[in-house]
């Protein structure tokens, strides 16, 4: 490869000068830039490429295995979180059902408490009224007894006999009234005790029910938080699974591409070997394009007028005068036309990986796509000191010394 102090004689890429397709690809192949880029691939043999593909496939497969192991692990974690979520949802459903039942029962108890308190108030009013009745009837009975005692000392025997019967009836009536008032008082006291106890019992039950409700609410809050946490973990795991899945697919695609490249490289290796074998048969058999002196040889050339060595990809032939330029072997003309500073140029494809290039022609007598035979005239050289023919041989994509391919 030429260094910074070395000039190179070859064919630079012609940009838009050339058409698309094989012609453009050929000119790119002939360009100095393409030659420079081709040097690494010539150093890196196809066999080395295949080994590198094998190494990449092995490395990528190992990475893929790790990713798929992670995927299996993450899927297991996701499924476990799903089961937890389902369990928490069932618990929450059960708690909601329990809360609904407790609230309904609590409402019933509150209704019963209100009723008990109303009955207690009524019983207390009745007891107060009964106690007032007992007090009143007791006072009446006592007053009647006092009057009878006084009357017994004040009236005559006749009168006393008549009043005795009357007073006895009154006393009996007052006693009955008093006893009835006492019974009512006793019944009212029992009712007060009954409804007071019922109200207290219901209040205690309502309090316990409230505590149960609070416990269930706390439990619901805890289960809800656990469900939220589990859902968040499951979503995060699913994001990881998605990313791992995408990575897995990318690695599968990469392995597939590497396998394809490996196969293509193997096929290219076989094809190139066949092409090289087909092209190598021309070595030492090519006809000279023109007769004359070689004024510039292949490879490094030193000139007296400049200090910088010149690297040439071909040779320059100086005919003795105006001369026909001939095809070195049979093939197809793949380029015929002007090419930058090399003037009129013809490129012939001889099959396999062999091309010959003829530059600095005075005229061209063939055209693109024309089938040519060995020794057929393709153009002519010019007259005078500048009437030289540039001749280049390309084998397997690289310039080679034409003297090794031309007839001795």
Into how many domains does the chain fold? 2
Based on the fold, state whether residues 28 and 112 are members of the same structural domain: no
Based on the fold, state whether residues 166 and 315 are members of the same structural domain: no
Contact 328, 320 (CB under 8 A): no
pLDDT at 222: 94
0.75 surpassed by pTM: no
The DSSP element (H or E) to which 348 belongs, if any, is strand 344-349
CA distance from start to end of the chain: 28
Based on the fold, state whether residues 140 and 68 are members of the same structural domain: yes
Based on the fold, state whether residues 71 and 35 are members of the same structural domain: no
pLDDT at 18: 33
Q: What is the CATH number of the domain that holds 295?
A: 2.70.70.10
Based on the fold, state whether residues 28 and 75 are members of the same structural domain: no
Residue 229 covered by a domain:
yes
Residue 279 covered by a domain:
no
Q: How far is CA 237 from the centre of its chain?
A: 11
Residue 120 covered by a domain:
yes
Contact 276, 394 (CB under 8 A): no
Residue 257 covered by a domain:
no
Q: How far is CA 20 from the centre of its chain?
A: 41
pLDDT at 157: 45
What is the residue-level pLDDT of the chain in tens, covering all 408 positions?
A: 334 444 444 543 333 233 344 555 555 555 543 333 332 343 347 778 888 989 999 999 999 999 999 999 999 999 999 999 999 999 999 999 999 998 888 889 889 888 888 888 887 888 788 787 777 877 777 777 776 666 665 544 445 444 554 566 777 777 777 788 788 878 878 888 888 888 888 888 888 888 999 999 999 999 999 999 999 999 999 999 999 999 999 999 999 998 988 888 787 777 777 766 666 778 888 999 999 999 999 988 887 666 778 888 999 999 988 899 999 999 999 999 998 877 899 999 998 788 999 999 999 999 999 999 999 999 999 876 678 999 999 987 889 999 999 998
Residue 317's domain comprises: 7-43+284-404
Q: How many CB atoms lie within 10 A of CB 88?
A: 20
Based on the fold, state whether residues 346 and 315 are members of the same structural domain: yes
Q: What is the CATH number of the domain that holds 197?
A: 1.10.287.950
pLDDT at 50: 85
Q: How far is CA 153 from the centre of its chain?
A: 120
């Amino acid at each position: 490869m030429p260094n910074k102090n070395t000039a190179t004689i070859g064919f630079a890429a012609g940009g838009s000068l050339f058409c698309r397709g094989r012609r453009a690809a050929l000119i790119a192949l002939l360009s100095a830039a393409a030659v420079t880029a081709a040097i690494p691939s010539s150093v890196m043999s196809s066999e080395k490429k295949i080994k590198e593909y094998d190494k990449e496939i092995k490395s990528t497969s190992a990475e893929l295995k790790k990713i798929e192991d992670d995927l299996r692990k993450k899927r297991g974690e996701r499924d476990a979180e799903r089961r937890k979520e389902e369990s928490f949802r069932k618990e929450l459903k059960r708690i909601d059902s329990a809360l609904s039942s407790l609230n309904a029962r609590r409402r019933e108890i509150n209704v019963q408490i209100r009723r008990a308190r109303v009955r207690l108030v009524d019983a207390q009013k009745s007891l107060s009224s009964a106690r007032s009745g007992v007090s009143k009837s007791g006072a009446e009975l006592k007053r009647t007894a006092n009057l009878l005692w006084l009357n017994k000392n004040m009236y005559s025997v006749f009168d006393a006999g008549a009043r005795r019967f009357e007073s006895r009836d009154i006393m009996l009536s007052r006693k009955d009234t008093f006893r009835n008032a006492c019974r009512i008082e006793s019944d009212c006291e029992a009712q007060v005790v009954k409804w007071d106890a019922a109200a207290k019992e219901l209040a205690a039950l309502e309090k316990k029910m409230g505590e149960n409700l609070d416990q269930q609410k706390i439990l619901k809050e805890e289960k809800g938080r656990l469900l939220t946490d589990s859902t968040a973990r499951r979503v995060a795991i699913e994001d990881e699974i998605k990313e791992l899945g995408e990575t897995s697919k990318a690695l599968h695609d990469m392995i597939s591409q590497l396998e394809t490249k490996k196969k293509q490289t193997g096929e290219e290796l076989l094809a190139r070997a066949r092409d090289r074998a087909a092209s190598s048969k021309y070595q030492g058999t090519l006809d000279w394009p023109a007769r004359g002196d070689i004024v510039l040889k292949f490879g490094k050339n030193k000139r007296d007028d400049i200090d910088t060595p010149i690297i040439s990809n071909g040779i320059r032939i100086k005919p003795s005068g105006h001369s026909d330029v001939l095809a070195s072997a049979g093939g197809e003309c793949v380029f015929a036309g002007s090419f930058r500073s090399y003037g009129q140029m013809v490129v012939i494809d001889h099959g396999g990986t062999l091309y010959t290039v003829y530059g600095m022609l005075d005229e061209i007598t063939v055209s693109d796509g024309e089938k040519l035979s060995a020794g057929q005239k393709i153009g002519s050289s010019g007259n005078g000191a500048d009437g030289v023919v540039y001749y280049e041989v390309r084998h397997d994509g690289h310039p080679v010394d034409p003297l090794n391919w031309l007839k001795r």
